[in-house]
Amino acid sequence: MPDLPRPPSDRRPPAPVPGLAARALATAAIDGVLSRGEALEEAFEGARLEPRDLGLARMIAGVSMRRYGSIGHLLEGLMAKGMPRKSGPLEAILITAAAQILFLDVPDHAAVDLAVRLARADDRAQAFSGLANAVLRKLAAEKAERLAAVPADADTPSWLMGRWRRAYGEDRAHAITAAQRTEPALDLSVKADAAGWAARLGGRVLPTGSVRLAGHGAIPALEGFGEGAWWVQDAAAALPARLLGPVAGLAVADLCAAPGGKTAQLAAAGAAVTAVDRSEVRLTRLADNLKRLGLQAEIVAADLLAWPGGTFDAVLLDAPCSATGTIRRHPDVAWAKAAHDIAALADLQRRMLAKAAGMVKPGGLLVYCTCSLEPEEGEEQVAAFLARNPAFQRVPVTAAEIGGLAEAVTPAGDLRTLPSLLPDPDPAMAGLDGFFAARLRRVG
Ligand SMILES: C[S@@+](CC[C@H](N)C(=O)[O-])C[C@H]1O[C@@H](n2cnc3c(N)ncnc32)[C@H](O)[C@@H]1O
């Protein structure tokens, strides 16, 4: 006898489990970083999730990376045999669940239950769903005491911590890693009327001129976004372009320009900007940003080292770097980089700096900057350049031109911001990215 047709309700797909999609995306993002070296943000581009779930996934993944060292330390203590081999996304499932249990306002049972579901749904992880359940329950039951025993610097890889100790001393290295534990506020560069925009958006004007907002919703929904009144730019990232001084009417090359934060500053200040970058994708973002802001620049898609170039009144080179100064905004950077990356990047920067220098007209300024905390990509790079190029002289940065941040001026006169600067009683309103910038003039 043929089967009787089932009533329609039986043919409906099972109702989605609330919150599972957000955990699945967060886990996939962390797995992408850990297993394939992908950038965390890549996982969220084009993700088809309700805005609420997308926001939650971003938050879970962000905290998972920000506290990855602490979480890894705790999981190690709970898994006597270590992470099982060939267990697929198990590690990412455990990390994201632990992040919720330890650092987010999520009921422990929900974090554990959803993690076990994710493990069961994966061919390689399902054999370990019981282990996941046991480990996470134990972590939840003992979280306060276990967390209190995690070393203070656990969230920075030891090779990087060692570098910062050598470059900045024990206390400042600690302060840097501590500053990276808190999700930073949103910084905006405004075209005009910083005080007015700070008042309208419920933020404050920093001494350096950026507007800082603590709590905020989706960026495109904020007042002023659509009309192009401001753009998102870390307060430290806004400083290097300012070192060129008044640029109205000057021909300025912005080298390695995308997505265009500094191009926007220069164009808004009245410069005729040539923005060069080799990434077509990032240049599309630059073009979109300029369009929204009602600003113009000549956009050149080219490898800087192969670009014939030209001569400019001023040149800004924001060279590709290890980005260790941006770990507070991109915590995956800390775990995606290795010590050997620094030497390779320093060599690329050396060649780019030589190329950029050749484009500066006599008497013109060259600003070299990187969002790195590593001296090889900053102070040492510029010292070596000056030793090789007597036609250039440093024009020392003064505290007055960077909002009185005297601590951010090196004895040699370069700009060196650290994430631990700009302290605030509210950690979410404190700090700025780690940037280096030197201002050089062509005198010969
Ligand atoms: C630090 S980001 C630039 C950020 C940008 N200046 C801003 O303020 O928004 C470095 C940029 O260098 C670009 N880049 C890397 N290697 C390059 C090359 N050989 N030639 C041109 N651009 C390059 C990358 O595509 C990336 O957009």
pLDDT band of residue 2 (cuts 50, 70, 90) is: very low
Q: Within a domain: residue 32?
A: yes
Total residues found in the chain within this entry: 444
Contact between 136 and 112 under an 8 Å Cβ cutoff? The reply is yes
Counts of helices then strands in the chain (DSSP H, E): 17, 12
As a whole number, the mean pLDDT across the chain is 95
Q: Which amino acid is at 280?
A: E
Q: Which of 121, 148, 175 is the last residue of a domain?
A: 148
- Whole-number pLDDT of residue 444: 84
Burial zone of 105 (CB within 10 Å; 0-12 exposed, 13-18 middle, 19+ buried): exposed
Same domain, 414 and 317: yes
Phi/psi at 215 (5° precision): -80, 135
Same domain, 122 and 251: no
Q: Which of 345, 359, 414 is nearest to 391 (CA)?
A: 359
Q: Is 285 in the pocket of ligand 1 (CB under 6 A)?
A: no
pLDDT tens string 62-99: 999 999 999 999 999 999 999 999 999 999 999 999 99
Same domain, 396 and 272: yes
408 Cα to the center of ligand 1, angstroms = 24
- Whole-number pLDDT of residue 297: 98
Cα–Cα distance, 211 to 230 (Å, whole number): 9
Same domain, 135 and 272: no
374 Cα to the center of ligand 1, angstroms = 18
pLDDT band of residue 133 (cuts 50, 70, 90) is: very high
User: What is the CATH classification number for the domain harbouring 81?
Assistant: 1.10.940.10
Q: Which of 230, 179, 188 is nearest to 208 (CA)?
A: 188
Q: Which residue's CA lies nearest to atom 15 of ligand 1?
A: 320
Q: Within a domain: residue 9?
A: no
Closest ligand 1 atom to residue 279 Cα is 25
Which entry of 95, 273, 357, 371 is annotated as an active-site residue? 371
pLDDT band of residue 7 (cuts 50, 70, 90) is: very low
**pLDDT > 80? residue 4:** no
Q: Within a domain: residue 379?
A: yes
The ipTM is: 0.99
Q: Within a domain: residue 30?
A: yes
Same domain, 242 and 384: yes
Same domain, 277 and 405: yes
**Whole-angstrom Cα Rg for the chain:** 24
Q: Within a domain: residue 207?
A: no
Q: Within a domain: residue 141?
A: yes
Which structural domain range is residue 92 located in? 20-148
User: What is the CATH classification number for the domain harbouring 258?
Assistant: 3.40.50.150
- The yes-or-no answer on residue 321 being catalytic is no
Question: pLDDT higher for 283 or 15?
Answer: 283
In the chain, the number of structural domains is: 2
Q: Within a domain: residue 4?
A: no
Alpha-helical segments (H) within 104-226: 108-120, 129-141, 143-148, 158-168, 170-179, 194-201
Q: Which amino acid is at 327?
A: I
Q: Within a domain: residue 171?
A: no
Structure-block tokens of residue 239: 């400083």
50 Cα to the center of ligand 1, angstroms = 32
DSSP conformational letter for 297: -
pLDDT band of residue 214 (cuts 50, 70, 90) is: confident
Q: Which residue's CA lies nearest to atom 19 of ligand 1?
A: 303
Phi/psi at 358 (5° precision): -70, -10
Q: Which of 127, 148, 169 is the last residue of a domain?
A: 148
Q: Which of 120, 148, 176 is the last residue of a domain?
A: 148
Structure-block tokens of residue 107: 């009921």
Q: Which of 104, 108, 117 is nearest to 56 (CA)?
A: 104
Contact between 428 and 358 under an 8 Å Cβ cutoff? The reply is no
Q: Which of 282, 375, 385, 288 is nearest to 324 (CA)?
A: 375
Same domain, 261 and 384: yes
